[in-house]
C-alpha cells in the first residue's frame, strides 16, 4: 500500500447496536474525518436521522448527545451503499452474524452470509486502495473469505483496486457502550499489513493511550474476540452454579462472590449471579467456538464450552420451577408481575433475554402475566413472544379460554395490583428503591417476591409481610 495514505472518508456497513454507537464515537473523536454509516434497512436509517431522540434505533446512555453533536457535521447515515463504499478509504463491516438456522452447522456455526455480501459490495464498488475492517464478531479465519473475494476483484480490475483486511473486534457491552468506546480496556487490531494497522491505530490514538492498542496477526485477533466472550460467559455460568449450591447449603452467593473476587487472580467483576446470561453475543459466540473446535478435531474442547451454555439453559429453566413450587404447585390463573424484559439493565435489547424463557414457561403453566420494563415497548414484547397482549382484568372471560395471557404494564404500581407474585429479572435501577410498605397492600396475599438479581432489600420486603426468595441465597433454609 501507499504509506502516504491518509484516512479522510470512512464507511461502516451496518447501523446496528455496534455500527451506530462505534461510528458516533469515532466521529466525535476524529472531527477531521467523515464517517458514513450505511444500512440496507431504511427504517433504521430514518431512525438514526430522526430529530426525535426516542426514534434513535439504539438506546445507550450518552449516545444521543454525541449524535446531536456530530450528525450532519462529520457523521452521516444513509442507505446508499455503493456511493458510500466508493468514497471510502476505510470500510468497517458491522453487519450481524447470527447463529445459522439451517444447512451445514445449523444451530451452532455463525452465519457469515451478510459479511460475504458486504465483501462483494466492497469488491465491486471500492476505488483505489481500501482498508477493510472486520468489526463484527466473526468465526476464526473469516478474513480468509473476505480476502479471497477482494483478491479476485484486485485481479479483475488490473490492480486499479487493492485492499488490506484487518480485524478490529468490538468489545462494547450494551448499556455502557459509549463509556466502553471512550475508555476501552484495550483496542485490538489484527492484520498482516503494518501500514494499514498503523493507520487504523492512528484513528484510535486520537483518544486511546497507544499502550492500550494491541497489535496481533489476523487469526489471533478473530479468536481473541470469541475467547473473551467465552471466558466472560463461563464466569457467569460458574457463579450461577455456585449460587444454586448456596441455596441448598445456607451460603449466600453475594458473600461467596465477594470472598472469591477479593483474590486478585480471580478479580471481583462479572461475578453477579442472575437468571443466566443473555444478549446477542455470548450464546452465539460459545456455539461458534464449540463448532470450530469440533471442526478442527477437538471434541473435548467443544464439549467444555458447550457445558457453559447447558448450565445457562438450566439456570433459566429452574426459575419458573421455583416460582411454581412456592405458589403451592400451580400458577394457573394467578397474576404474576414480570419486572424487566431486556437482557440486562440500561438497554432496550431483548435478544436472548432470560426473561423470554421465564415468561414462556409461566404462560405455559397458565399464569396471567403483567410485564414491565422501563425501556422495552409492548410491541417489542409482542414481536419476541409472538403472542399479542390481552387485557386480563375480565377474569370471567379468562376462565373460558385456554389462551396465554400477558399485559403490558406502565408502572411498578400498576403491575402489583392483585398480583400473587413479582419476579425481578433485570437489574434496572428503577426497581431498587420500591416502597414495599405501601405497594405490598396492592398484592393478593400470601404474595411472593422473587429477586433473581439480588437487587431488592430483604428487610423492607419482609417488613411489608411479603414472602421473599433471592437467587443464590440460602440464608433462610
Ligand atoms: C453486532 C455484530 O456485528 C455481531 O457480530 C456481534 O456479535 C453482535 O453485535 P449488531 O450491531 O448487534 O451486531 O447487529 P444488528 O443490531 O442486527 O445490526 C446489524 C445491521 O446490519 C442491521 O441494521 C442490518 O440491517 C445491517 N445489515 C445487515 C446491512 O446493512 N447489510 C447487510 O447485508 C446485512
Ligand atoms: C458482551 C461483552 O461484555 C462485550 O465485551 C462484547 O463486546 C459483547 O458481549 P453484552 O452482551 O452487551 O456484552 O453485555 P454483558 O454486560 O457482557 O452481559 C451479558 C449478560 O451477562 C447479561 O445478560 C448480563 O445480565 C449477564 N451478567 C453479566 C450476569 O448475569 N452477571 C454478571 O456479573 C455480568
SS3 letters across 72-92: CCCEEEECCHHHHHHHCCEEE
Residue owning the nearest CA to atom 1 of ligand 2: 173
Checking if the pLDDT of 403 tops 70, the result is no
**In 3-state terms, what secondary structure has residue 161?**
strand
* pLDDT more than 90, % of the chain: 86
* pLDDT more than 70, % of the chain: 97
Across 205-222, average pLDDT:
96
pLDDT at 4 (0 to 100):
75
Judged by average pLDDT, the poorest of 33-42, 118-127, 396-405 is: 396-405
User: Cα separation of 304 and 310, whole Å?
Assistant: 10
C-beta of residue 271 within 8 angstroms of C-beta of residue 472 = no
As a whole number of Å, the CA-based R_g of the chain is 24
Distance 107 CA to ligand 2 centre (A): 21
In this prediction, residue 53 has a pLDDT band, given cuts at 50, 70 and 90, of: confident
Residue in 318, 324, 237, 323 with CA at minimum distance from that of residue 276: 237
Q: Look at the block and give the residue holding cell 462472590.
A: 257
Q: Render pLDDT for 293-308 as a digit per residue (tens, 0 to 9).
A: 999 999 999 999 999 9
pLDDT at 395 (0 to 100):
54
Looking at the CA of residue 81, tell me the nearest atom of ligand 1: 30
**In 3-state terms, what secondary structure has residue 352?**
coil
Looking at the CA of residue 278, tell me the nearest atom of ligand 2: 23
Judged by average pLDDT, the poorest of 53-67, 232-246, 396-410 is: 396-410
A 10 A CB-CB count for 104 gives 7
In this prediction, residue 1 has a pLDDT band, given cuts at 50, 70 and 90, of: low
Q: Render pLDDT for 20-52 as a digit per residue (tens, 0 to 9).
A: 999 999 999 999 999 999 999 999 999 999 998
Specify which residues 470 forms β-bridges with. 451
Per-residue cell: 298? 477437538
Distance 196 CA to ligand 2 centre (A): 31
In this prediction, residue 5 has a pLDDT band, given cuts at 50, 70 and 90, of: confident
pLDDT at 339 (0 to 100):
98
Distance 63 CA to ligand 2 centre (A): 19
Phi, psi of 311 (to 5 degrees): -65, -40
Higher pLDDT, 468 or 2: 468
Looking at the CA of residue 344, tell me the nearest atom of ligand 2: 25
Distance 17 CA to ligand 1 centre (A): 7
Give the ligand whose atoms come closest to the C-alpha of residue 22: 1
Probe ligand 2: pick from 229, 274, 279, 353, max atoms within 8 Å of CB?
279
In this prediction, residue 139 has a pLDDT band, given cuts at 50, 70 and 90, of: confident
User: Cα separation of 314 and 335, whole Å?
Assistant: 25
In this prediction, residue 8 has a pLDDT band, given cuts at 50, 70 and 90, of: very high
Is the full-model pTM beyond 0.85?
A: yes
Across 350-357, average pLDDT:
97
Catalytic residue from among 170, 174, 247, 365? 170
Residue owning the nearest CA to atom 27 of ligand 2: 277
In the annotation, is 222 catalytic? no
Checking if the pLDDT of 477 tops 90, the result is no
Give the ligand whose atoms come closest to the C-alpha of residue 346: 2
pLDDT at 476 (0 to 100):
74
User: Cα separation of 400 and 414, whole Å?
Assistant: 25
User: Cα separation of 94 and 90, whole Å?
Assistant: 13
In the annotation, is 170 catalytic? yes
In this prediction, residue 399 has a pLDDT band, given cuts at 50, 70 and 90, of: low
Residue owning the nearest CA to atom 15 of ligand 1: 16
Across 154-168, average pLDDT:
94
pLDDT at 138 (0 to 100):
83
Asked whether 13 lines ligand 1 (CB < 6 A), one says yes
Q: Look at the block and give the residue holding cell 455480501.
A: 117
In this prediction, residue 70 has a pLDDT band, given cuts at 50, 70 and 90, of: very high
SS3 per residue for the chain: CCCCCCCCEEEEECCCCCHHHHHHHHHHHCCCCEEEEECCCHHHHHHHHCCCHHHCCCCCCCHHHHHHHHECCCEEEECCHHHHHHHCCEEEECCCCCECCCCCCCCCCECCHHHHHHHHHHHHHCCEEEEEEECCCCCCCHHHHHHHHHHHHHHHCCCCEEEEEEECCCCCCCCCHHHHHHCCCCEEEECCCHHHHHHHHHHHCCCCCHHHEEEECHHHHHHHHHHHHHHHHHHHHHHHHHHHHHHHHCCEHHHHHHHHHCCCCCCCCCCCCCCCCCCCCHHHHHHHHHHHHHHCCCHHHHHHHHHHHHHHHHHHHHHHHHHHHHCCCCCCCCEEEEECCCCCCCCCCCCCCHHHHHHHHHHHCCCEEEEECCCCCHHHHHHHHCCCCCCCCCHHHHHCCCCCEEEECCCHHHHHCCCCEEEECCCCHHHCCCCHHHHHHHCCCCCEEEECCCCCCHHHHHHCCCEEEECCECCCC
In the annotation, is 281 catalytic? yes
Distance 93 CA to ligand 1 centre (A): 9
Probe ligand 2: pick from 226, 233, 274, max atoms within 8 Å of CB?
274
How many residues belong to the chain? 477
Higher pLDDT, 106 or 308: 308
Distance 114 CA to ligand 1 centre (A): 8
Amino acid at each position: 500500500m501507499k504509506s502516504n495514505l491518509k484516512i479522510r472518508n470512512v464507511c461502516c456497513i451496518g447501523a446496528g447496536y455496534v455500527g451506530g454507537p462505534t461510528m458516533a464515537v469515532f466521529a466525535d473523536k476524529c472531527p477531521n474525518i467523515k464517517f458514513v454509516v450505511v444500512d440496507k434497512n431504511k427504517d433504521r436509517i430514518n431512525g438514526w436521522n430522526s430529530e426525535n431522540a426516542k426514534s434513535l434505533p439504539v438506546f445507550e446512555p450518552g449516545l444521543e448527545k454525541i449524535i446531536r453533536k456530530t450528525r450532519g457535521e462529520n457523521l452521516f447515515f444513509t442507505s446508499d451503499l455503493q456511493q458510500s463504499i466508493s468514497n471510502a478509504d476505510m470500510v468497517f463491516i458491522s453487519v450481524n452474524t447470527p447463529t445459522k438456522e439451517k444447512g451445514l452447522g445449523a444451530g451452532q456455526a455463525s452465519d457469515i452470509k451478510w459479511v460475504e455480501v458486504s465483501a462483494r459490495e466492497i469488491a465491486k464498488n471500492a476505488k483505489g486502495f481500501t482498508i477493510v475492517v472486520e468489526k463484527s464478531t466473526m468465526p476464526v479465519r473469516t478474513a480468509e473469505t473476505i480476502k479471497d473475494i477482494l483478491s479476485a476483484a484486485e485481479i479483475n480490475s488490473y490492480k486499479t483496486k487493492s485492499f488490506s483486511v484487518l480485524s478490529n473486534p468490538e468489545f462494547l457491552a450494551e448499556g455502557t457502550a459509549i463509556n466502553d468506546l471512550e475508555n476501552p480496556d484495550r483496542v485490538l487490531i489484527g492484520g498482516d499489513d503494518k501500514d494499514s494497522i498503523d493507520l487504523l491505530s492512528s484513528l484510535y490514538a486520537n483518544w486511546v493511550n497507544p499502550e492500550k492498542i494491541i497489535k496481533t496477526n489476523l487469526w489471533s485477533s478473530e479468536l481473541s474476540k470469541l475467547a473473551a466472550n467465552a471466558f466472560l460467559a463461563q464466569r457467569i455460568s460458574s457463579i450461577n452454579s455456585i449460587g444454586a449450591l448456596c441455596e441448598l447449603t445456607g451460603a449466600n452467593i453475594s458473600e461467596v462472590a465477594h470472598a472469591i473476587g477479593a483474590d486478585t487472580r480471580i478479580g471481583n467483576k462479572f461475578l453477579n449471579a442472575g437468571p443466566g446470561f443473555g444478549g446477542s453475543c455470548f450464546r452465539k459466540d460459545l456455539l461458534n467456538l464449540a463448532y470450530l473446535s469440533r471442526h478442527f478435531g477437538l471434541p473435548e474442547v467443544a464439549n467444555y464450552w458447550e457445558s457453559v451454555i447447558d448450565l445457562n439453559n438450566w439456570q433459566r429453566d429452574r426459575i419458573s420451577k421455583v416460582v411454581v413450587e412456592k405458589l403451592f404447585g400451580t400458577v394457573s390463573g394467578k397474576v404474576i408481575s414480570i419486572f424487566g424484559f431486556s437482557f440486562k439493565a440500561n438497554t432496550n435489547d431483548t435478544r436472548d433475554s432470560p426473561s423470554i424463557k421465564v415468561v414462556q414457561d409461566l404462560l405455559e403453566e397458565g399464569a396471567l402475566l403483567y410485564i414491565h420494563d422501563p425501556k422495552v415497548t409492548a410491541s417489542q414484547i409482542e414481536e419476541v413472544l409472538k403472542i399479542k397482549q390481552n387485557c386480563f382484568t375480565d377474569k370471567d372471560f379468562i376462565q373460558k379460554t385456554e389462551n396465554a395471557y400477558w399485559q403490558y404494564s406502565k408502572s411498578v404500581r400498576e403491575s402489583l395490583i392483585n398480583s400473587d407474585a413479582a419476579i425481578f429479572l433485570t437489574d434496572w435501577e428503577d426497581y431498587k428503591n420500591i416502597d414495599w410498605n405501601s405497594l405490598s397492600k396492592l398484592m393478593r396475599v400470601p404474595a411472593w417476591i422473587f429477586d433473581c438479581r439480588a437487587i431488592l432489600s430483604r428487610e423492607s420486603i419482609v417488613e411489608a409481610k411479603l414472602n421473599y426468595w433471592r437467587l443464590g441465597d440460602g440464608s433462610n433454609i
